[in-house]
Structure 1
Amino acid sequence: MPSTQIHYDPSTPEFQNELWNVYRTMRDEYPVYHDPGSGFYALTRFADVWAAAADHDTFSSRVAEANDLLPQLIYMDPPRQTALRKLVSRVFTARRVAGMEDDIRNYIRSLIDTIAANGTCEFQHDYAAVIPSVVVGGMIGLDEQHIGPVRAWTEAFIDTTDTNKALEAAVGIYTTFAELLDERRHRPRDDMMTDLINAEIDGQRLSDEELLGFCLLLVLGGNDTTASLIGSGTVLLLRHPEQRDLLLNDESHWPTAVEEMLRFESPTQTLPRTATRDVELHGVHIPADSRVMLVWGAANRDEREFSEPDRFDVTRRAQRHAAFGHGIHFCMGSGLARMEARLALTEWFARFPECELAGDPERITSSWARAYDSVPLRLGGC
């Protein structure tokens, strides 16, 4: 029998400070956690999360959240998910992403120039959140006047203290993209919106609902998680100056540093699945139709998979981690996110190697995300 009582509730502000201890207890004593109130189950060990993510026949992505939003890939199963994913995956090819590097670097440098001229910085909103919104907005086809409002709306999906705010944000995004998609039908451009309008599956165009669902997912996945990665990665380096100095002295470690940031502070901490059949795991019976949470953040700190998992080490060469998911829902934009984070961090610390925290960063309360709402910085030498 478990020796420690535990209550897993990531929707509370307190959880953001105690999650690593909660996760450790869950992995050790409640590897299949059953919430007594809501009735959901949660998997926290790396091997269990990894296996469940790859078994879409048993752990379906059709979950309750899908009832409040228009159709989107993360809440679909094959064969429709496979066909729709194929349409978007061609946009995120390694060759195309690599071809964007110089433009992204040039934009980042101009943004840094602006911040340097101002002399102060609230890093999360002035820098970390701006870069992915501009990059993904450009790919989708958003003009400059739309990028700021869409970025603000997507941030509402992280903070889960007000579900009405998230639904209002979804309406704002849907309304904006409905107008833009209608405009593209009359005046096509070389952008993703035009490509999606013209795309066909078995001779059929995507429905209006599918188009809007795609657009919402692209801005959510492209904005929030990458912004969280850049913000969390920066705070980690400032709180571990020996790791920052190692990177400043040897830039070859930046790619592994980004992977370690993803593992250590996974931007997406958990996502839901629905059990399609009865499952027995670690002596616990999970009935069919149960809600099952795959807790990526806990899996990425599992000592059964990682040596000294609570040690932040930018030279770590882990064979795998679960920060981008696994299986058919593995993040299509992972290559772009990695590149954006690497460029954002290398350019920032090249310009401001002596920057430091000007106060305690403030975290967002979220049931699924690990993100900062505010990261005040002193720039140091420019």
Structure 2
Amino acid sequence: MATRIMDEAAKVFADPKSYTDEAALHAALTHLRANAPVSWVDVPNYRPFWAITKHADIMAIERANTLFTNSPRPVLTTAAGDDQQAAIGVKTLIHHDDPEHRAIRAIGADWFRPKAMRALKVRVDELAKRYVDQMVAAGPECDFVQEVAVNYPLYVIMSMLGIPESDFPQMLKYTQELFGTDDEEMQRSSSIEESMGVLLEMFAYFNELTAARRATPTEDLASAIANATIDGEPLSDIDTVSYYLIIATAGHDTTSAVISGGLHALIEHPEQRRRLRDNMDLMPLAAEEMIRWVTPVKEFMRTAQQDTEVRGVPIAAGESVLLSYVSSNRDEDVFDEPFRFDVGREPNKHNAFGYGVHFCLGAALARMEVNSFFSELIPRLNEIELTGDPAYTATIFVGGPKHLPIRYSLK
């Protein structure tokens, strides 16, 4: 085996707190792109991996989905976390490779196609207005993340699933605990066993939902999942629950991060906020820029199925690579002035939704939610400022702001 040389900056990928300090994080990632774009990472508590930081290399790996597979290590967790997840047997869309991935993805695909999105837009616009109206009623100050950003996309995705509104707060708590396992404020416990308890409680909830929808089918996404078949056979219990899990968690936590991080960017760049207010036709471009800027999914992992190389660096069969979307979305070779927040950025070749066969199933919904919310907020916004320091979630997978204290004036 060739000598593995680790650049010290690459430790950021296995340090949840690195994502709470964006200046330090991006300094490390900029250094890695220039000096060690394919970097070996071998740190305590984690199985070793290669960190991939350049946009072109990440796109090439995602295209090569038979050479680099999601299984058996689709996301970065500690070695103990890897073992716990394997024992429980979670297999969401991100855990599957083709042909199973294609068949399972198809179950929910129609719910996220353009026709379905057009039908849903009226409801999403109504919810955007509801939450901006709530800001007016609650004003002139709020913690935007906790009072607005987490609730709006949660309401959208839970309504699609057909989950009763009385259960929304519990589902929010589950997802925050699930993605916040590395954050002292968000986690249920620092122990692996306790954090896995969240997963088991969600399993129990969704098993009951499956039984109810199989007994009495309804016109919602939960019913489509519960009654789905592949080659004439119903999904296994673990695959059914795993499907709910990915929709219920990724379907709102990522979007809430973009909305809150996007507002933070607009506060920090008032000239861009004024530019958008004066030309709301820029809103689709502004939404893409917010998604690039925040990049709520920090990484996915792939595992090489045979010996290969990336940028001339040998990768052995069985070795894993981490795809750093946060780094690729600031790649100087792809983005003109990547550290400039630009609501009119075009082209904007971000890969925050992934690429290839694993491109995010809910990308169109996320774009629509961001667009609808800011299309309602910006024309009504007179003034806005921070009233304290924003706080970001400690994470190595999914995250964004967890507190955004603001003072504002709205029409």
Q: Aligning the two structures, in what range does the TM-score lie when normalised by the shorter sequence?
A: over 0.9
Q: Unpaired runs of 5+ in structure 2?
A: 74-81, 183-189
Q: Provide Cα deviations, 1:118-155, integer angstroms capped at 9, x if missing partner.
A: 22321112111111111100111100011111111111
- Corresponding position of 2:112: 92
Q: Does 1:7 align with 2:36?
A: no
Amino acid across the alignment from 1:344: F
Q: Distance in 2 between matches of 1:42 and 1:159?
A: 22
Match of 2:69 among 60, 69, 82: 60
- Corresponding position of 1:21: 27
Amino acid across the alignment from 1:102: V
Q: Quick check: 1:3–1:29 contact (8 Å CA) kept in 2?
A: no
Match of 1:362 among 383, 388, 391: 391
Would the alpha carbon gap of residues 145 and 3 (structure 1) be closer, same or farther in structure 2, given more than 3 Å must change? Answer: closer
Q: Distance in 2 between matches of 1:273 and 1:96?
A: 31
Q: Does 1:231 align with 2:282?
A: no
Would the alpha carbon gap of residues 142 and 329 (structure 1) be closer, same or farther in structure 2, given more than 3 Å must change? Answer: same
Q: Unpaired runs of 5+ in structure 1?
A: none
- 1:92, CA displacement in angstroms? 0.5
Q: Quick check: 1:4–1:25 contact (8 Å CA) kept in 2?
A: no
- Corresponding position of 1:128: 149
What TM-score, normalized by structure 2, do the two folds share? 0.88
Match of 1:43 among 35, 43, 52: 52
- Corresponding position of 1:72: 92
Q: Quick check: 1:44–1:294 contact (8 Å CA) kept in 2?
A: yes
Secondary structure at the aligned position of 1:231 is classed as helix
- Corresponding position of 1:111: 131
How many residues were matched structurally?
Answer: 382
Q: Distance in 1 between matches of 2:135 and 2:336?
A: 39
Would the alpha carbon gap of residues 295 and 142 (structure 1) be closer, same or farther in structure 2, given more than 3 Å must change? Answer: same
Match of 2:401 among 358, 372, 379: 372
- Corresponding position of 2:308: 279
- Corresponding position of 2:329: 300
Would the alpha carbon gap of residues 193 and 47 (structure 1) be closer, same or farther in structure 2, given more than 3 Å must change? Answer: same
- 1:36, CA displacement in angstroms? 3.1
Would the alpha carbon gap of residues 220 and 381 (structure 1) be closer, same or farther in structure 2, given more than 3 Å must change? Answer: closer
Q: Provide Cα deviations, 1:158-206, integer angstroms capped at 9, x if missing partner.
A: 3242444542222222111111111112222111111122222111111
Q: Distance in 2 between matches of 1:14 and 1:194?
A: 40
- Corresponding position of 2:185: none
- 1:157, CA displacement in angstroms? 2.7
Moved more, 300-309 or 274-283: 274-283
- 1:330, CA displacement in angstroms? 0.1
Would the alpha carbon gap of residues 13 and 333 (structure 1) be closer, same or farther in structure 2, given more than 3 Å must change? Answer: same
What TM-score, normalized by structure 1, do the two folds share? 0.95
Secondary structure at the aligned position of 2:17 is classed as coil
Q: Provide Cα deviations, 1:250-276, integer angstroms capped at 9, x if missing partner.
A: 000110011111112211111111111
Percent identity over paired residues: 30
Match of 2:101 among 72, 81, 105: 81
Q: Quick check: 2:20–2:391 contact (8 Å CA) kept in 1?
A: no
- 1:69, CA displacement in angstroms? 4.7
Q: Does 1:152 align with 2:173?
A: yes
Secondary structure at the aligned position of 2:388 is classed as coil
Q: Quick check: 1:158–1:364 contact (8 Å CA) kept in 2?
A: no
Moved more, 151-160 or 245-254: 151-160
Q: Distance in 1 between matches of 2:261 and 2:197?
A: 27
Amino acid across the alignment from 1:144: E
Q: Distance in 2 between matches of 1:304 and 1:293?
A: 20
Q: Runs ≥4 in structure 1, deviation > 4 angstroms?
A: 2-5
Amino acid across the alignment from 2:114: A
Moved more, 22-31 or 232-241: 22-31
Amino acid across the alignment from 1:56: N
Amino acid across the alignment from 1:146: D
